[in-house]
Chains A and B, each alone.
Chain A
Amino acid sequence: MKWVVGVVAAALAVYPVLGIGTEYHLTVAVLCLLLAVQAVSWNILSGYAGYVSLGHSAFLGIGAYLGGIAAERLDINPLLAAPLGGVLAAGVAVAIGAVVLRSRGAAFVIVTIALLLTMQVLATNLPQLTHGNQGLAMPLPPWSRDTGNLPFYYLFLALLALTLAFSAWIRTRKLGSGLIAIREDEGKAAAIGIPTTRYKVTAYASGAFFTGVAGGIYGYFLSYISPTTMFAVLASVMVVLAALLGGRGSLYGPVVGAFVVAIGSEAATVYGGGSSSRLLLFGALLTGVVLFLPQGLLPGAAAWWRARHPRTVEYTDQEGALGRLPPVRASLASGSQAELLRISGVSKRFGGLVAVDGADLVVRRGTITGLIGPNGSGKTTLFNLVTGTLRADAGEITFEGRHIDRMPPWERCHLGLGRTFQTTRLFHGMSVLENVVAPLPDGRWRTAVRGGVTGAEARRARELLDFMGLGRFAAEPAGSLSYGQQKLVELAQILMLDTRLILLDEPAGGINPALVEHLKGVIRQLADQGVTFLLVEHNIPLVLDLCDPVVVFSQGRTIAEGPPGKIRDDPAVLEAYLGDPKAERKVERPC
């Protein structure tokens, strides 16, 4: 792979000086490189994190207009202003992204289109600054006419190399694997400490920066910019199409796609007779790629290769696992307060349904607290309120004496709150090892730019996987594991962090009895080391054996609490689980 990239880069570097092709061909090559810069920078958010933007050329236009206005008003060479255009574009991306990227769903794509169209209207309607529909003329380049577009070619080539290097760098950092995690399962990513909003905004802004710089150079190259050429929807579509066709989420895919799309677009204009044929070409390509090649050319080829050359993997190393001791976290901070988690008067309603109704619950340090209750009694909702997946309507939650009810999930995780999910939620596209190293211990920038899978961390992850009996699966995609194996990987994820309280949502569901025993041992051992557990489980014998105290939940609140022996005989508990025994007897008597 490396040598292919090297050969292509060398070919691109020497192409203009070889004297093959005409000035026209060089112009087409410049357009290819421009599209490649945009597609690679689009890919940083939209490919890695999966948030598709349909208005990426807004940033191209912002960069170009800043360059044009600076040249006209301040007499600055547009090339010097280009980095400033990048900064302005990144600023706009931060301002928009910081609010829109807080939420998930359809909002982002709509806002990106609206942003592009808004910029177009502004550029048209503010003639004092932009000359409106007349457009802005750029100064002519200082170099001689014979040099032509050669400098632009090398400028764009250098910018493409920079953008690619940045994209590659980000992909190997924690930031990059965090973005992939967001694409795979954003809620889970937040629960293991990834500050999702900040990561998304960072990705959006860095993509906007490179495109903004490209815009400054592009405006100079065109020597004339207008609202419809710079803020064109079709230009945005080309960016999306290029990345999609080449393979979004892959490093070089967008570059390959950009060359195909830019050359195709040029050919359609020349041979197909104008803009209608470009529209038809892009429309057909876009629908075709979405329907028939959704993963794109490069990842598609890679998948084909893997299918032809399968690797064999052995089964779970269960016996080996059962013999091992859990790897210990060196330092487990022990605080002073006996109450680790306090939930007081917390309520949550979904429309008319009150899922949690003024619940009170205290988890004491060093305990394995069990939480049982019938289905629908609000246990999982309570978990979600504690970890921040949901916000409570009323009441307060404190962790080690600190209010956490207003914190986003990742901050709660950084404080030492970890959880597993009832149905496992792993990042299926990542390898098992990448899954285990995905959790982030804190939200510092230094952590975000640390290598994704580094020495000590990777060693510990491998230890944990060996301990779970999954060492042989480290390089496999997590999606190929069985349900029970995924549960174990999820537990390993939590153990990566310096977690003080672990919330386990039905840890024994779907795991074979031998492993359940193993799991019990793990939990006890970790508890001895000072980790506290809150555990939801329907396997009552397991709860009564493992937990003390046991809390019983019914209809959104605690109805009983105490040592397992007491809970077993509590009439209120029996009633909540089995119905009112007296009522049943009344029915039986007449028979």
Chain B
Amino acid sequence: MAQFVQTLALGLLIGGVYALMASGLTLIFGVMRVINVAQGAFLVLSAFVTWWVWRATGIDPIALAALTTPLMFGLGWAFYRLVGARLRSAPPSMSVLLMFGVALLIEGLLNVTAGNRFRSATPGYFDESYTLGPISLPKAPLYGFLAALAVLAVFYAVLDHTWTGRAIRAWAQNPSGAALVGVSAVPTATLAFALGTASAGMGGSVLSVLVPFFPASHYEWIARILGIIVLGGLGSLPGALTGALILGLAESLTSVYVSPQWSILVFYGVIMAVLIVRPQGLFGTRVREDVAA
């Protein structure tokens, strides 16, 4: 029983971190109408930056999110301004391929600069735990969870309660309609894309402490967060939260009660099953396809 509760607690903690990563991906989907397959590479890039600064200066890796988040925000901003905006009229498959190319470039650059080895940031507390009765809460995932929660709260406050956030959501739903009522297209889309990559910045810093990573880890990470937003419904923010918690739990349970090597299959299995049975996911809506000609 204690083991079960322990597994649930760990699953929830990791689910919170996933929620942050998945929110960024689903936001970018809302804006670009394509899966940003480079999101995993952005995560790993941020993890490497965190690891590198941590090793050089000894600053706490999770606190380094204060550095990586604006950094990735800037990177996303510049990227969308220079490249992404050019693709708005191209078919979605071309945008997917472009982002795939970006992911390969990042992986290649990390290979050259950091080497093809597993890394992990190990601050003093990385193997310590808080004990709560029979269960123990490891400190690193707990801090990561709290940090992710704080950023998520800010993220949602911006989207829900500011004019900019409403502009982003309006633009995601109907770009030409939003343009007609005064939402300027490119800056809004750029902002949404940059917010998406910023969440990868934050997520990457947390990731650097939680799991060992190497340049090619981005495939596994994009599969994880893709599974989450597919389950929740592409483009849906509440879906991303729910999907993250469900899959965080499912992953922990599988890795404890089945075997850690099968746990990643949970995500692939969910992706295939959901897209086959209910393509709009839990919270997604089907939009009418017949009018758009």
Contact = CB atoms under 8 A, between A and B. Distances in A.
Interface in A493-529: none
B262 A125 contact: yes
A107 B96 contact: no
Contact of A52 (B93, B226, B261): B93
A121 B223 CA distance: 13
B268 A117 contact: yes
A280 B276 contact: no
B179 interface: no
B100 interface: yes
A275 B107 CA distance: 11
B116 interface: yes
A2 to B, nearest CB: 31
Contact of B105 (A280, A421, A425): A280
A100 B273 CA distance: 10
A103 interface: yes
User: Size class of A's contact patch?
Assistant: 35 or more
The DSSP consensus for interface residues of chain A is helix
Given A104-B289, A111-B275, A279-B108, A287 B261 contact: no
Contacts of B98: 286-287, 290-291
Given A52-B93, A52-B96, A240-B97, A110 B108 contact: no
A283 B103 contact: yes
Pick the most buried of A105, A284, A350: most chain B CB atoms within 10 A of its CB: A105
Interface residues of B, number: 51
B92 A106 contact: yes
B290 A187 contact: yes
B207 interface: no
Contacts of B265: 118, 121, 125
B101 A284 contact: yes
Contact of B97 (A244, A279, A422): A244
Contacts of B34: 106
Contacts of B92: 105-106
B96 A280 contact: no
B288 A350 contact: yes
B86 interface: yes
Interface in A177-196: 187
Nearest to B222: A113
B29 to A, nearest CB: 8
A290 B91 CA distance: 11
B184 interface: no
Nearest to A132: B261
A590 interface: no
Nearest to B95: A290
Interface in A334-384: 350-351, 380-381, 384
A235 interface: no
Contact of A287 (B105, B268, B271, B276): B105
A121 B104 contact: no
A284 B109 CA distance: 11
A290 B94 contact: yes
A121 B107 contact: no
Contacts of B155: none
Contacts of B261: 121, 124-125
A170 interface: no
Given A110-B226, A125-B262, A279 B269 contact: no
8 contacts: A52-B96, A110-B271, A187-B290, A234-B104, A279-B111, A283-B105, A290-B95, A390-B290
Interface of A: 50-52, 54, 96, 99-100, 103-107, 109-111, 113-115, 117-118, 121, 124-125, 187, 233-234, 237, 240, 244, 275-280, 282-288, 290-291, 294, 350-351, 380-381, 384, 389-390, 421-423, 425
Given A111-B272, A114-B272, 13 more contacts: A106-B92, A107-B279, A109-B96, A117-B219, A125-B265, A233-B219, A277-B108, A287-B83, A287-B98, A290-B90, A294-B94, A381-B290, A389-B290
Shortest beta-carbon contacts, A-B, top 7: A286-B101, A279-B108, A283-B104, A283-B105, A287-B101, A276-B111, A280-B108
Interface of B: 33-35, 37, 83, 86-87, 90-98, 100-109, 111-112, 116, 219, 223, 226, 230, 234, 261-262, 264-265, 268-269, 271-272, 275-276, 279, 285, 288-291, 293
